[in-house]
Structure formats: C-alpha cells, structure tokens
Amino acid sequence: MERKDFNLGFHMGDWTATCNGKRFIVNNHGMKLTAREDEGLEKVIFDTEKKTVTVKVKTPTLPENCPRVADLSEAPEFFEELRKDIETLLTTKEGDFMSVIPNKDRTVFDVS
C-alpha cells in the first residue's frame, strides 16, 4: 500500500489520518476515530496485537457513541505508519500540539 502525504495528514489506501489544530481524526469512508479540539487529547494508545488505536481525552464533549477506538487490523501497514509518525502528525503540518512523548515500546503516546 502506497503512502501519500498531504498538508493535513497522510493517506494510505482508503485510510486517512489528519490533525487540524488540536482535532485528530482517522477516517475510512466515514469517521473511525476522533478527538475534537475542545476535548483535550491526552493519549493515543496503539495495541500492537489487536491493531487498534484508542484516544483518551480530558473532557469528552461528544456523545458516548463517538468513535474513540479504531480497528486497523485490516490495514496493518496504515497502523504501523500511523504509529511511526504520530508525533509528526500531531506536532507539525497542521497539528498544534506542543509535544507527543512515547513510552519505550511506542504503544502509548502522551499528548500535550
């Protein structure tokens, strides 16, 4: 699967990951994961066995059924690219986060 970089994020196959300001979205023909700007994204968690990505926010304002976990098991290359470049996506390009700090195995990223 070929990766294509865009101003607001990146695209692989039918998957996109974007960060605009402090809003983070993973999309595949419809939103699969989101953290809105006013919610205060604090963690991005990658489960390397299940190939899922989870976001944790400080103050949830969206309804409870809002997608906070994305199953990327059918797009493992996208999962790995997102995990590899999450710092760049959130702190550069159009992302306004100050820092993204990974744990040792790059599965939990603290965002501020």
Decide if pLDDT at 3 tops 90. no
Q: What is the pLDDT of residue 8?
A: 59
Residues contacting residue 52 through CB under 8 Å, at least 6 positions apart: 46, 69, 70, 71, 72, 73
Gyration radius (Cα) of the chain, Å: 13
Per-residue pLDDT of 10-57, as tens digits, reads 888 899 999 999 999 999 988 889 999 999 999 999 999 999 999 999
Per-residue pLDDT of 67-101, as tens digits, reads 999 999 999 999 999 999 999 999 986 789 999 99
More confident residue, 29 or 4: 29
Answer positive or negative: Cα dihedral of 42, 112, 38, 7. negative
